[in-house]
Each structure stands twice: as C-alpha cells, then as structure tokens.
Amino acid sequence: MLRFFLTRVGLLAPTFLGVTVVAFIFVRLIPGDPVEVMVGEMGISPERHAELLARLGLDLPLWEQYLRYLGGLFQGDLGVSIVTKQPVLHEFFTLLPATLELSFCAITAAILLGLPLGILAATRQGSAFDHTVMASSLAGYSMPIFWWGPLLIILFSGVLGWTPVSGRISLLYFFEPVTGFMLIDSLLSGEPGAFTSALGHLILPTIVLGTIPMAVIARQTRSAMLEVLGEDYVRTARAKGLPASRVIGLHALRNALIPVVTVIGLQVGVLMAGAVLTETIFSWPGIGKWMVDSIFRRDYPSVQGGLLLIAAIVMLVNLIVDLLYGLINPRIRHRN
Amino acid sequence: MQSQNNPRRFSVARKSFSLALVVAAFAVGGAAQAKTLVYCSEGSPEGFNPALYTAGTTFDASSNNIYNRLVEFERGSTRITPALARSWTVSDDGLEYTFKLRRGVKFHTTKNFTPGRSFNADDVIYSFNRQLNKNHPYHNVSGGSYEYFNGMGMPDLISRIVRVDSYTVRFVLSKPEAPFIANLGMDFASILSAEYAAAMLKAGTPERVDLDPVGTGPFQLVAYQKDAVIRYKAHPGYWAGRAPIDNLVFAITPDSSVRYQKLKAGECHVMPYPNPADLQAMDSDSEINLLRQEGLNVGYLAFNTMKKPFDDKRVRQALNMAVNKGAIIDVVFQGAGKPAKNPIPPTIWSYNEAIQDYPYDPQRARQLLREAGAANLKTNIWAMPVQRPYNPNARRMAELIQADWAKVGVEAEIVSFEWGEYLKRSKEGEHQTVLLGWTGDNGDPDNFLYVLLGCDAATGANRARWCYKPFDDLLREAKQTSDIAVRTRLYEQAQVIFKEQAPWVTIAHSVWFQPVRREVVDFRIDPFGGHLFYGVDLR
C-alpha cells in the first residue's frame, strides 16, 4: 500500500509542473492585455501603455516571466492581483471556504440521493421507478446551470417565497468570519437564527450545483450494480439463501462502488466548473466568480494562481480517490 | 486588505452595527427605527481609492458615497456645484484657479484613524500631488496607476498646486483649459485625508489608505466582504447634513435577473442595470418605481476617414442616409433609446437642437455613392463583443446596418474581436467602420467633442481618425474661455460642421432605467451612471 501511495504522490509533481505551464500560457493566449482592458474606451498613449506593462513585468520575455513566476511559486508567492493589488494567495483562501462549503454540500447531497436512487433503480430494473430515475437523471444531467438556477429562484424565492434569493446569509446577520464556512461561523456567532438563515441560503445553490453530479452518480451506480448483480458470486450468494439486503448491501454494492468512487472523484472537477456559474447566479462569494472576474480583467497573477490552486485541489481529491480505490479493491494496490 | 481580514474593525463594527441592522432590516418590511437602504450592486469594487481605478462599480462604492471633491455635480444633473470648495475664481488668462475651501468639514472616524483636524488645503494638495508628482511618497503605493487622471491630461495640464493658506488653494495650469472645473468634479479628484496618509506612512502601512477609506463624504465604510457585501453607516458629522438613512448596504449580486428577484422579494431597495427584457414587467409592478432618464452617452459608427473611400464625405453622407435608425432603436434598444443626430447627448449644454439629421433615404444614398465612384463598395463593420449602455447588442446593430447598406449596393462583412483587442486594433485604425460609443465623464461638451473627434485624438479615442481643421479650431477656441455663452456658440458651430462632414453615423443615446422599490424616496438617476445615496430616504 505504501508503494502504491508513493507512486501516486510521485506522479503529482510532474503533473503540477505541467499545470503551471498550462496556466501561465493559457492566460496569455487570451487576446488583449490588462492595461487595455483597464482603460477601456478611454484609450491610452503607447508610451503610458508600455510604462504600465513594464511596471507589471509584462514587458519581459515570456520565459523570464515564467521563471520569475516559478521562482515565486517555490517560495509560496503566487504574486499580487493586478486589479486589487492584494496577494493572490490571500484572495484565494479568503474566498475558498465559500466554494468548499457549497461544493461539499452539493456532493454530499448528490451522493446521499444518487447512490440509493441508483441502487434502487438497479434492483428494480425495468420498473416504473427505474424509468423515472433514469429519465430524471438524464434531464438533470442535461440541465444547464444558467437556466436551472434562475428557474429555481423564480419558483421557490419569487413565487412561493420559501427560500432566499441569493447570498450566503441574511443581511441581518453581521459577525466576524472565523473559519469562513458560514454554517460553522453562524453557529459560533451565537446569534439566534443565523444558522437557519445560512442553511436556508444553501438550499438552492446546493440543488443547482449538485444536480449534475447526482445524475451521474445515480446512473453510474445503477449500471455498476446491474453488472455486478449478474455476476456468478452474487448468484451464488443468493443460492446460499442470503437475504437480499445482505446480497445487495455487502456483496454487490462493495464491488459496484469501485467505478462509482472514481466517478465521484471526477465530479470534483465538475463541481469547480459548475461553481463558476452557480456562484454568479447566487451571488456566492467564492473562487468561481473570482476566477471569472479575473479572466475578464486579464488579471494574470490571479488567473494563473487560481488555476494552479484549483488544479491542486482537484489533484489532491483524485489522489484520495485513488487511495480509496486501492483500499476498496486490493487488486489495484497489489498490481502497483 | 479586505475588511474580512481585519478582526479589529469587525468586532467594533459588530457592536455598533449589528443591532442597528437587526432593527433596520425591518425597514424593507415597513416598520423601522434605524433606516437601512439595501442596494443590490452588480460587482465588487477593485478598491476604495477612486483615483486608482476606472470602473463605475468602484466609483459607486467609493467616490460616490465616501468622498467629496472640491466641486461636484448637482444630484441628478451635470451642473457643477460647490462642494469642499465653497467658491473659486479664475484668472483672466485662464491659467490660475483659486479655490476657497469650506471650513469645519470633518473626516470619518474609523477604527484605524481618529482625525485630529478638519479638512484643509493640505488634503487637497496631498490628493492631487499623489497623482501628479512621481516623487511623492504615495505615488507608487497600491500600484500607482492613475489612469483617469492621466487620461484627462492632468499631468500636462497642472503645472503646480499652491497652498495659499490653510483654506485657500491655487491650481496653476500650463494652458487655459475651460473644462478644468468640470474635471475636478470627477471621481479621480476625490479628496483624501493627508493626516491619515501621513499616519499610515509612519506606521509602514500606506496601502491601508486605499483599502480602509477615510473621506469626508455622507457615508463611511464599516465592513467589506469581497463579492458578498459592503456595509456603510451615515457619517454623523457630514458637512452638508447627516444622510436621511442610517445605514447603506451594498449586497453584491452580479446576475441582473437575480437582482430583479431580490428587488421583487424586498431583499433590496435599489438595483442597477436591469435586463431590457424585464423592463415591461418592472413597469407594471406596483411595488417598483421604474425611473428613467436619457443617458449621458452616444453610440456611433465611425468611418475610418484615413482609408478610401471614407476620406470622401459623400460616401460618409450616403452611408448615413442608408441607415434606418428607427429600426435600430426598436430592435436593439427595444425602445429604450433615442436616435442621435449630434455627437453629444441632448442632456449636455450646447446641444444643437437646430441640426437636421440625415433622413433615411436609400435612393439618395445610392445616388451619392455613384457620384463618389463607390457604387459597389465592399467594406467591413466592426461590432463590439460587449454590451454597453450606448450599445446593448452591437452584433445585432451591425446586422441591421449590414442589411440597410446592402439595399444601396454596399457589401459589408461583420468583424469582431475580443474587447481589449477590439479597442487596441480600432485605435490603430485597422477598421473601415467601427461601432463604439462613449459615456460622458464630466458633463462638458469638450469631453465628447475634443476627446472623440479632436485632432489630438486622431490616433487614439478618435476612431474616425478624423482631423478637420475648421472643426478642431472651434474646439481649441472653446477651451480658452470660461464664458459658457461663448463656448456654447462655438460648440454649436462645431456640431454643424460635424454633421456636414459626417465622420460618424450618430446612432443613439440610450435611456437609463433605474428600478427602485416604491418605499424609496428621492432617488435620482445620475447622468454619469453612478449610484449616489445621499439625500435618498425610505418611507
């Protein structure tokens, strides 16, 4: 298992280096530069333009810019935002808890609903329930966030008035962020009603962000379960007279989980991508919205720093998934 | 530094503000003790020093509510009014502007800073010299790019600023510049505290001046959580009288349809930039007042007059006649615009009402093109990739113009680039015709005519690259005098020349829409597109 772990960790270093190159080049491939975007229609003289680019270090050859960036990176310095003049690392970690909180709730909801729905659909293959789950998950998977979000807001906030429209907590509450996780901070604040308010504000964004992962998990669970349920050892377990719950819960599910866990790991990337739109729609102050703003403003340090940190998070989660995969399936770790 | 990471400010603010908000929040519902106005703003400010930035979102969060300037624009108009300067005089040669400053003006008291004195000439000198003087200790703080100050030509214009006495300050200019007073009403000219700056410099944290603002304005910052909320409270010692509302909250809500839902649900009182598609519903909602006013802007199509055949005014006139502006107003602006005939909007003084626009006359256009030898012209139309108040859908506008021009035998290809690239390439004159526009900065005609059509701008903001001496001479003459009557006459003449020479197709002035809840009292649309909350009350 240790060797398996070390192999996986060893793969991270070159991947990470690759990401630094991609992030660095990607942001510079976008046409326009930060100075042009900043001055807009007002225009700027070529001399002043060159002066500002030089001040930002953007007049240097690309390789030199990259080496400086890499040098800073090794010292834990991701640079300073061109727009806000704040350290990128500071901005990222100020906003990250909001995204983590939302993503965690979304993936938890997706797993809690997707897994049982997939299992039940598999065990009732061909039934009306199965068809309903499959049709709903297909619809959920196809639902664009920019449409699904406003639709839920109009229905639940506008028409029914059951949920708040957007934000993380009611403007009534104003307390010092301790962890940055609103659910925890609202509890720590001791202000009556704050936790309920934070929870209420999470409902719609969680549904919107969790819909696609839930659909994927439900469909993957169903197909994996169907495959496993047709295996000889499951037939044998049934022939032995084991109760259905034991056959499904112990023998079938454990093996069916292997691809499902992989898919859950991959959903982290999907969540990060979905967070961009979800955060914009729900005025959720997270890194998705921050990244979009940074791209529009050609804030090179923020975009490349943000991409790098998001990639690091996705890689870390996938490492954990790989390790879990090894734990669930001994053949994997032995093969490695 | 975002205040989110400033626990000291939070804890203090919490005590004083939390209770106020709990009580005040009921204001949205009706019964209120403290009055809190919630504004669903469209984005986060880049910072809190307006001199460092150019975005309207940043100005709303800073200069429009936290700071004052020597002169300001009367609320809801472009008229200049005294503010921190109670009066001023201009020397006969137009080179010296002497301001008498208001006494007893108090700066905000914040957790980081307690003012030891009232506003005086030192604050004016600090605020301008920081931008003007490259050796000033604050010049390079927070990136040190003062693009509005530079863009308005202030470094070349201001020779020096003299402290005559504690309450008198004199600006000495290098040349007469009549719009100078209007320039001083702009956001970059906001007055910051020199005492606070000195204290922060001494403490080794000069950047705090730009992050934890201390101004003289009607509201003071209490807390800012990036991308979430900005909280202000009324400045109790505001020189013009305390604001009628007690607290002002910016609930940052980037999506316009979500802002509308929040307005409907009573989660905010005022929202900016409504979707054109929502306007009808807003207008018929009894809970919402849909305010409207003609914007201080112009949307236009500029011909590159340096390129053939657009160097021939007959071609330009013909293509003017070939555009059906009425259809553009209906389709692109969905009625929320007014056809433009002049390069300045009608809300600006010196707008020449007498000018007749080119009629929509494809037949005459075809004839003129034939006369100019451009009967089978092939050209391009550059369409902006972004939405702007003066052009909500440039692609659609370009398609309509393309179809109109096809009717007179002109084949036009629509071209677009990423926004930064679009601005850069059009500035370099790569286009043949380009769609663009302008929103006024200071209500002075010079800010449209000279900036967009003057010879000095012919390789910059003047996308028509049009340099016509009789026109330019009038603009230069108008800069030399502060006499409004004389300037009006000169600008009116300039507009006549502009129309005859037709370097642009003037397309439209958009109408600003401002939805507010009906309990909001005396909110006025700012012609410059800002959102100012001093003087606004809640029922």
Give per-residue pLDDT as tens, B303-356. 999 999 999 999 999 999 999 999 999 999 887 889 999 999 998 999 999 999
**ipTM value > 0.90:** no
**Residues contacting B514, CB < 8 A, separation 6+:** B270, B272, B290, B291, B292, B293, B523, B525
Q: What average pLDDT does the structure give for chain B?
A: 90
Residue A106 lies in a domain: yes
Q: What is the pLDDT of residue B470?
A: 96
How many CB pairs below 8 Å do chains A and B form together?
Answer: 157
| Chain-chain contact of A84 with B18 (C-beta, under 8 angstroms) | no
What pLDDT, on the 0 to 100 scale, is given for residue B481?
Answer: 87
Between chains, do A165 and B226 touch, taking CB under 8 Å as contact? no
Span between the terminal Cα atoms of chain A, in Å: 8
Confidence (pLDDT) at B10: 33
In a domain, A9, yes or no: no
**How far is A272 from A292, CA to CA, in rounded Å?**
12
- Report yes or no: B387 at the A interface, CB cutoff 8 Å: no
- Among A305, A314, A315, A279, CA closest to A91: A305
Closest CA to B382 of B427, B343, B340: B427
CA distances from B190 to B52, B69, B130, B212, B260 (A): 11, 5, 12, 15, 32
**Could you read off the pLDDT tens digit of each residue along chain A, which spans 336 residues?**
677 778 877 888 888 888 889 888 888 887 777 887 777 766 677 788 888 888 888 888 989 999 988 888 888 888 889 888 889 999 999 999 999 999 999 999 999 999 999 999 988 888 999 999 999 989 988 888 989 999 999 999 989 999 999 999 998 888 888 999 999 999 999 888 999 999 999 999 999 999 999 999 999 999 988 888 888 888 888 888 888 888 887 788 888 888 888 888 888 778 888 888 899 899 999 998 899 888 888 889 999 999 888 888 888 888 887 777 777 776 666 555
CA angle A280, A283, A286 (to 5 degrees): 75
Residue of B46, B48, B447 to mutate when probing chain A, most A C-beta within 10 A: B46
Residue recorded with tokens 């970690």: A93
Q: Is B497 exposed, middle or buried (0-12, 13-18, 19+ CB in 10 A)?
A: middle
| Residue A124 shares a structural domain with residue A222 | yes
DSSP code for B74: P
Residue A8 lies in a domain: no
Residue A324: per-residue pLDDT: 77
Q: What is the pLDDT of residue A28?
A: 85
Q: Are residues A140 and A281 in the same domain?
A: yes
Asked if B226's CB is within 8 angstroms of A95's CB, the reply is yes
Read off the pLDDT of residues B457-488 as tens digits, 9 standing for 90 and up: 887 789 999 999 999 999 999 998 888 899 99
Q: How many domains does chain A have?
A: 2
Could you tell me if A46 and A156 lie in one domain?
no
Residue A11 placed within a domain: no
- Please report which confidence band the pLDDT of residue B171 belongs to, taking 50, 70 and 90 as the band edges: very high
Residues A172 and A36 in one domain: no
Both tokens of B104, joined, read: 């007893």
On whether residue A168 sits in a domain, the answer given is yes
Tell me, yes or no, whether A173 and A28 share the same domain: no
Cα–Cα distance, B373 to B499 (Å, whole number): 22
- pTM, 2 dp: 0.84
Closest Cβ opposite residue A31 in set B223, B228, B418: B418
Q: Mean per-residue pLDDT for B176-185?
A: 93
Quote the pLDDT of residue B37: 97
B21, B47, B151: residue with CB nearest A172 = B21
Report the pLDDT value the prediction gives residue B20, as an integer from 0 to 100: 40
DSSP state of A158: I
Contact (Cβ atoms closer than 8 angstroms) between residue A263 and residue A273: no
Q: Which residues of A touch B147 (CB under 8 A)?
A: 38-39, 42, 44
The answer to whether the Cβ–Cβ distance between A48 and B46 falls below 8 Å is no
Give the pair of three-digit tokens for residue A323: 């390790």
From the list A204, A194, A190, the residue with the least C-alpha distance to A171 is A194
B164 touches chain A (CB under 8 A): no
Q: Are residues A212 and A282 in the same domain?
A: yes
The helix (run of H) or strand (run of E) holding residue B291 is strand B288-294
Q: Which residues contact B31 (CB under 8 A, 6 or more apart)?
A: none
The predicted pLDDT at position B13 comes to 37
Q: What is the DSSP code string of B302-328?
A: EE-TTSTTTTSHHHHHHHHHT--HHHH
| Six-digit token string for B83 | 């503010």
Beta bridge partners of B521: B537
Backbone angles phi, psi at B257, to 5 degrees: -70, -30
In the predicted structure, residue B521 carries a pLDDT above the cut 90? yes
DSSP classification of residue B229: E
Residue A223's domain spans which residues? 96-333
Is the CB of residue B166 less than 8 Å from the CB of residue B102? no
Please indicate, yes or no, if residue A15 is contained in any of the structural domains. Answer: no
**Chain A residue closest in CA terms to B222:** A174
Q: How far is B418 from chain A (nearest CA, A)?
A: 6
Asked if residue A288 is part of any domain, the answer here is yes
For residue A167, give the chain B residue with the closest CA: B228
A-chain residues within 8 Å CB-CB of B463? none
Do A182 and A59 lie in a common domain?
no
Q: Do B423 and A40 touch (CB under 8 A)?
A: yes
pLDDT tens digits, A87-128: 999 999 999 999 999 999 999 999 999 999 999 998 888 899
The closest CB to that of B420, out of A37, A82, A290, belongs to A37
Residues B24-31, mean pLDDT to the nearest whole number: 42
Which residue carries 């100075």 as its tokens? A35
pLDDT band at B21 (very low <50, low <70, confident <90, very high): very low
- Compute the distance between CA of residue B471 and CA of residue B493 in angstroms, rounded to an integer: 8
In this structure, are A30 and A131 located in the same domain?
no
pLDDT tens digits for B79-130?
899 999 999 999 999 999 999 999 999 999 998 899 999 999 999 999 999 9
Which residues, at least 6 apart from B90, have a Cβ–Cβ distance to it below 8 Å?
B96, B97, B98, B482
Do B264 and A158 make contact, defined as CB atoms within 8 angstroms? yes
Q: What residue of A is the nearest CA neighbor of B18?
A: A174
**Residues facing B251 on adjacent strands:** B229
Q: Which residues partner with B168 through β-bridges?
A: B100, B165
Residues near B302 by beta carbon (within 8 Å), at least 6 away in sequence: B433, B434, B436, B463, B464, B466, B503, B504
B438 shares contact with chain A (CB less than 8 Å): yes
Residue A174 or B66, more confident: B66
Q: Is A14 contained in some domain?
A: no
Out of B13, B54, B207, the one facing A42 most closely (by C-beta) is B54
Same domain, A129 and A185: yes
A176 and B18 within 8 Å at the Cβ level: the answer is no
Interface of B with A in 271-290 (CB under 8 A): none
For residue B219, the cross-strand partners are: B234
Which residue from A158, A171, A280 is facing B38, i.e. has the nearest CB?
A: A171
The answer to whether residues A290 and B227 touch, using CB atoms and an 8 Å cutoff, is: yes
Cβ–Cβ below 8 Å for B420 and A32: yes
CATH number at residue A125: 1.10.3720.10
- Residue A69 and residue A123 in one domain: no
Give chain A positions within 8 Å (CB) of B22. 172
A175 and A303 fall within a common domain: yes
Burial-class residue A266 by CB neighbours within 10 Å (0-12, 13-18, 19+).
middle
- Cβ contacts (< 8 Å) between A154 and chain B: which residues? 261
Q: Which amino acid is residue B198, in one-letter code?
A: A
Can the peptide bond before residue A116 be classed as cis, meaning omega within 30 degrees of 0?
Answer: no
The CA-based angle B398-B400-B403, given to 5 degrees, is: 110
Instruction: Summarize pLDDT for B360-370 with one digit per residue, the tens.
Output: 999 999 999 99
Considering the domain architecture, whether residues A36 and A120 belong to the same structural domain is answered as: no
Shortest distance between the Cα of B73 and any Cα of chain A, in A, equals 21
Contact of B266 with chain A, judged by CB distance below 8 Å, is answered with no
Secondary structure of residue A80 in the 3-state scheme: strand
Q: Is the pLDDT of residue B244 over 70?
A: yes
Angle between helices A253-281 and A145-152 (to 10 degrees): 70
CB-CB under 8 Å, A165 with B18: no
- Cβ separation of A157 and B2 shorter than 8 Å? no
Indicate the range of A112-116, A134-138, B203-207, B415-419 predicted with least confidence.
Answer: B415-419
For an interface test with A, give the residue of B142, B264, B423 to mutate (most A CBs within 10 A).
B423
Strand partners, B163: B169
Structure tokens at A63: 């390789």
The beta-carbon neighbor of A94 closest among B7, B226, B417 is B226
Q: How far apart are CA A285 and CA A177, in angstroms?
A: 13
Which of B12, B21, B227, B426 would best serve as a mutation to test chain A binding (most A beta carbons within 10 A)?
B227
Only one residue has tokens 């389709």, namely B331
Residue B529 in contact with residue B56, Cβ under 8 Å? yes
CB nearest to A285's CB, from B25, B226, B423: B226
